[in-house]
Amino acid sequence: MSKGGSVMDTKHEMSKIQNCMHNAGFKLTPQRQAIVKVLLEHHQEHLSAEEIYIELLRASFSFGLATVYRTLDILTDLNLLTRVSFEDGVARYDLRTEDKNHFHHHLVCTRCGKTVEIHEDLLSDVEQLVLRNYHFKVSDHRLTFLGLCQDCQNKQLLGDDHHQ
């Protein structure tokens, strides 16, 4: 599956992250910068800490997995990352970039695990209803649709045909 989606200005995003960290009293160390670079390069994916660590090893970085976890925690606390969990229960990370100011939705195939992002805000009417009826201003939301992707539906149809 292609990474597709919007084109990202990685230098601008790196600068934005650096400024946010600096304002919160953190430095963008070379290790943290390498982790952010992996997140930027894979911004259409939802990588786990271990997957980020593997990418860093491939790029010949030699710091520990604990550094990855600490950095992810800092970035999450600063609202630069969102921690998401899908059907596999593994914590994955979604970089909050300028094209993702509001959380997007996910389609997760329960058979093969493929995850697709929906970049339309499908819940703006619901947020207005919540504000009006409950006097609660929603700042963000998470919505995951579980089901079968087109490929798994096709495989299921083919499999069902062979059993008849």
Binding residues: 109, 112, 141, 149, 152
Strands of 115-118's sheet in order across:
115-118, 105-109, 144-147
Q: Which residues are annotated as a binding site for Fe cation?
A: 141
Q: What is the 3 state secondary structure string of the chain?
A: CCCCCCCCCHHHHHHHHHHHHHHCCCCCCHHHHHHHHHHHHCCCCCEEHHHHHHHHHHCCCCCCHHHHHHHHHHHHHCCCEEEEECCCCCEEEEECCHHHCCCCEEEEECCCCCEEEECCCCCHHHHHHHHHHHCCCCCCCCCEEEECCHHHHHHHHHHHHHHC
Calculate the CA 164 to chain-centre distance. 41
Q: Which residues are annotated as a binding site for Zn(2+)?
A: 109, 112, 149, 152
Q: What is the end-to-end Cα distance of the chain in Å, rounded?
A: 32
